[in-house]
Structure 1
Amino acid sequence: MAMSSAQTVTIDGRLLRLTHPDKVLYPATGTTKAEVIDYLVQVAPVMLPHLSGRPVTRKRWVNGVGTSDAPGDVFFEKNLPDSAPSWIRRVTVQHRSHRNVYPVFASVADLAWAGQVAALELHVPQWRVDDLGESLRPDRLVLDLDPGPGAGLAEAVEVAHAARELLADVGLEAVPVTSGSKGLHLYCSVDGSRDAEYLSSFAKQLAVALEEAHPDLVVSSMAKAKRGGKVLVDWSQNNGNKTTICPYSLRGREHPTVAVPRSWDELDGDLRQLEYGEVLERLRDSGDPMAGLAPQTPDRLDTYRSMRDASATPEPVPSERPRPHESDELRFVIQEHAARRRHWDFRLERDGVLVSWALPKGVPDDPSRNHLAVPTEDHPLEYASFHGDIPKGQYGAGHVDIWDSGTYTASKWRDDEVIATLHGSDNGGLGGVARTFALIRTGENWLIHLMKDQCSDPPADIGFVRPMLATLADARDVREGRWAFEMKWDGVRAVIAVDEERARIFSRAGRDVTASYPEVAEAARESIAPGTVIDGEIVALDAQAIPSFGLLQRRMGVEKAREVQALIDEVPVTYLAFDLLVGDGRSLQDSTYDERRRALRDLDLGAEILVTPEAFTGSLEDAIAASRRSKLEGVVAKRRDSRYVAGERSPAWLKIKHQHAQSVVVGGWRPGAPKGFGSLLVGIPGPDGLRYIGRVGTGFSDRQRAELSAILRRGRRVTPPFVDVPADVATDAIWTSPSVVGEVVYAGWTGSGILRHAVWRGIRKDLGPDDVHIESKE
């Protein structure tokens, strides 16, 4: 796989963009990224079974491993970034104090992507997840034989033989693996009847027994002081929260060594750690010594075949195991099925099969009404073109028509949620219009939801980029990796796009708001070169030079030139630029945060109202303290190696607030003053509609009360927009169309999902109802 420049390639039916293929990841041997990817592609047939169904933690060296004199930068990565391809399976794992969204690698393309992002080491637990993402009990036990100072591989082999005999006494057969580092791993297959706590305790007993039998050779304690000249039998790898290097994974050592399964006969020879080229040579001559321990990947069409008689039905019943379709496009089909009960079958291509749901009430055509979606067995890809009659007496007997078919793209594919945009045929049931559907698991059931269009895209010549969004977090989430810290400004997000003729300002949702801030647009046109797109925030500073959201609201939504000019002197605004998305007409979204920030500083924004605040260079604690001293909202932590993922909420950007804030949709009010209201009734959109989350009765200025009262009365309606408003609240409530978005601060949530002590902060004219989601339930 020799590559001299960045290119998009097809690997195992998947499109993957490979960049910097000539980057040297192992300087001592000159091994490049292209060679790492080539190794992963070749080793995939034996490596994937050991990864099958296991959440993968990656250890990445994006700038290479370095040398013994200058080790390379490295970080662990648990969460799968939003920038990862949508076809990689994601599973959410709830740990004791947090949850992570891990990848599960199942294809050659998955491994190639790992090589592309320099994830050299792949670590997995001893347990797997099922098809629904639920954690299973461990199916293997591992002992890590780690030589301490003064001991080496020879001593580890001696301990391995002793451990093998001890394991055999309890009916367990061990397979040795040279770890690619210093020592050995011993793996045993277990039947999955015991949990991780039991296996960890059992492994500890084995370690202690080995130490008692060989006190001069073995230590079972993690204390470093006890390890001199001995081999640590590390039993803790069986803890449910621990991971071990996957067999056939590269190691981030000075040389490209590999964790390699070995035969017991090899251990008594001239044993050493092997490099990747030697591993490939071994595999050409022999198989995987650990193959018997790898769980067999189930054939995803077994259930389908078991329900059909190939000699009696015209449906396709392939005998071969499914393989990904060799195409750059993924297919969908929706079939109308006149069986015992008429329904529609909704099928999306994934991993060589059509993942399928039955829709008893058909495909939803109204975003406010969700339909039930019942998961069914995977179907073969050939079913995408099937139509005709299934004979009476056969499973699913009845007539099948193709309601619509075509291709689709997935923006999300998790075990509990799938979001796919379907591009059907001109005369199909979708009307030849691209439609985006969300399939959402709610308990044991699934729902299918027709997504609303967020907004129409601005003209392409302007180059608008939908902003990347941050994930709400706390300081505990900012651990691994290299981070930059920026202040969280109390303003509104704005993207400035400059072309040859003008500068335009867009809101987060893509609405042109140039008319509201003409002085910012004029400064941008005069000081920024054409072909530039900048991401930032518009703020209004109070008398103490502190951003004031309340003050800024006076400028938001005002577009009449006379009114705007009157406000420019009264409420001046400043644009704080914090990211450069396009420079000289070239997209920088695939560049790292550090690279984009350097390019932004090089613009040298000189206008008084266009400012580039410096990122905070100290610790997170120092950044938070500085934010508090400046009376700001909080801090945004950004991974310094992260790319810009347009329109996505990413764990690479984490916002840490000093107080809880929540965007809400106003659905009604309770009477108060003769011409006003006593409190607002607010909610958050969900799969079933607008969910009521409480009342807000404080925090309003007289100006805000008057403005809100006029807007709400214009949208007055008879029926409540909420799906679950309590009876005592509805008694004297007055309802309004749910179009106004506001922001509140609050003390917390009740057990029934109601905001406690909510205080109004202001209208969010930059957001629409569909932009509102739960920020936090803490």
Structure 2
Amino acid sequence: MATTQTVTVDGHRLRLSNLDKVLYPASGTTKGEVLHYLAEVAPVLLPHAANRPATRKRWPDGTGGQMFFQKNLDASTPDWVKRRSIQHKKSANDYVLVNDLATLTWLGQTATLELHTPQWQFGRTGARLDPDRLVLDLDPGPGAGLAECAQVARWAREILRGMGLEPYPVTSGSKGLHLYAALGKAADTRLDSDAVSAVAHELARYLEAEHPDLVVSDMSKALRSGKVLVDWSQNNGNKTTIAPYSLRGLDRPWVAAPRTWAELDDPDLAQLTPEDVLARIASDGDLLAPLLEGHLSALEPTPERLATFQKLETYRAKRDPAKTPEPFGPGGDSQADPTSQAGPASRVEPVETDPTFVIQEHHARRLHWDFRLEHEGVLVSWALPRGEPTDPAKNHLAVQTEDHPLEYGSFEGSIPGGEYGAGEVTIWDSGTYDLEKWRDDEVIVTLHSAERGARRLALIRTGGRDGDAENNWLIHLTKAQPGAPAPVSAGHSPPSAPETGQIPSTQREAGAGGRRRPMLATAAAPGDLTRTDDWAFEMKWDGFRALAHVQDTETVRLVSRSGQDLTVTFPELAALAAQVDATRLPVVLDGEIVALDRAGRPDFRRLQHRANLRKERDVNRAKAQVQVDLMLFDVLVADGDDVTGRPYTERRELLESLVTPSAPIHLPPAFDGDLDAALRTSRTLRLEGVVAKRHGSTYAGRRSREWLKIKHQAMQEVVVVGWRPGRADASVMGSLLMAVPDGEGGGLRYVGRVGTGFSERERREITARLRGMERKTPGVSGVPAEDASDARWVTPSLVGEVTYADWAEGSDGASGERRMRHSVWRGWRPEKSAEDVVVEAPPPAAT
């Protein structure tokens, strides 16, 4: 064997020197042979040592020379070696984490023969977890040996089994035996190191009391002659034990080796050599493998579920389920969702799907975005202070935080003041991702989002590995991006109407009466209904309006208000066909497609994840994350006959007789004659408002005052005609300039500006979008000088929606125009054009 070699291990180059140096004089074992053993034993050694701060014993000149006991990593340590810092009374030490073969090989090169680790691990983000195992060190005094240790081990085994713990014996490679028992990690079984030490101490005392002739629990050497010390102290959080499968620094290379209980009955029980251990692994595998799973296997039968409990300990330790609505995951005590068992989320069946991602906008002490990737049963999480990067040339900071439960991927709500992360959380984007690489220092994924499309991102851990800096990463938008449109070949015609989603004219007929258009409600205030007994009141659902054409017991076609075919976009709503009376077909029903949150409330933001999708793969991806429901409230055709001329009350009774609803199809109830009760119910359910329908109204395919919509908050669709720079940063949009149709000649009239309701990320995105639409002159008249002074005008084609307080006289006072006051941005309406915008509530006449 060459005395020096350069090797590549796990992508890291290592120079191995002095391979023929003898490290064990009595056996002649060389450094090269030690490195060979470490490489062979790594698959079973690493799982037991990983994520535990290791102290090391080094013999650079072999075990016949001086030994160096080392905790702290020195300057010669390669920067890729994983480490964690522990603050002691007088100093902080950086400990190596023996997590991979490259690190184990580097340790062998430095003549590290013994690895000692505690009974606890670091969590993914550096938090110190509770111990996951209990250990008893059975140390024979003078006149005692392995046979006596084996007897004490059998007695201890009876006691531990009575406590619900299964012990596993390990001959220590020195003189005695170790017993390990896995500790569970259920939410109601929290034991810190002090508590485990106390349990182990009591067990040692009990053994001593029961067997005083052979057992001692006191460290005093004077008491140990001919006896076995049951050393319980190694459960202390500051103490360590020789790691399973580690070599010992004696004359010969003995190993801390797992044994079977049958072997302990052998009167010739002896310590094992590296060759012995490797042969046993080849035939029997890792005898300590159950130690990695813990006794939680009785409750959670897979290692993956056990790992989930462990990974969420830091998350749960920071939160009180009685005070925050955040989910706590399997086995948690979250009180966030008392309706979830009956809600729509409970309908989701487990399926084999791509891993998910979510980006949540978090208005905490400082605004940031939480980027979470589903990985190994949890959401691995980073905080992005500046959001997701949109320019490959500009990386953003990503700070890794504690893992979150998978249920957090659908969480939106308010975290109460005084609690960890207090503030508002909303979902900014979500979907699935393709994994390209996942290492401790680099992650590369391609996100697939129904709302924001596909993009390829890389997360790269930065160089700092001490203190808070060790959780610092960079998030990078790669130059190579998926989904670049292919060039259109000459001679190829544009897609046909069905491919773009528009229904061919031959398919627009359904039942009697030809093409159907939904009836629209007119905006009103509660005071506009003087005789409430004449009206029925339905909840106003915040979703996509659709007419459902049921031709037979298998065929449902969904048509949007503008005539777009939504059938392939929402395939789960085909369930309607089986819920309509088969003797009454064909029928056309009116309803709203909604996406419900975990509390059963419609969430327009969630629904956006399902919008504008037509490819089966895209639809299935989005469907796996967001399911939709159909709220039915009217009927246009039954038995093939047009029933739009019948009064509302008759059509409502007909609807209820036609459909036997079952999720995801619903027939929400109507309220007769009690507007106040309907409004209270709507507020309680946190809905948008109510729709009042006159009892005798026929179904007109247009906007009518026979149907009135009464919202809790005034909303208005607007046409964006320009933007003004922000005061703090003139390169970013500070407010949008808005207009609505003036009702005369198709022109627009200015109605004010909106500068609130945007996230910083949205401001940047809107700025980039509008810069490509700029024009020199305004597309609207009547803009006051104050708003026009620094305005950047754009082509008036984009439609958005705002909430507002009321209408007031323009600030210039001379134009006589009315402006919206206290506007707040609600979002874009991509399905609308400028011509579709209608003034919902005309401003009252000036007084």
- TM-score, reference length from structure 1: 0.44
Give the structure with higher Rg (CA): 2
Higher relative contact order (CA 8 A, sep 6+): 1
- TM-score, reference length from structure 2: 0.40
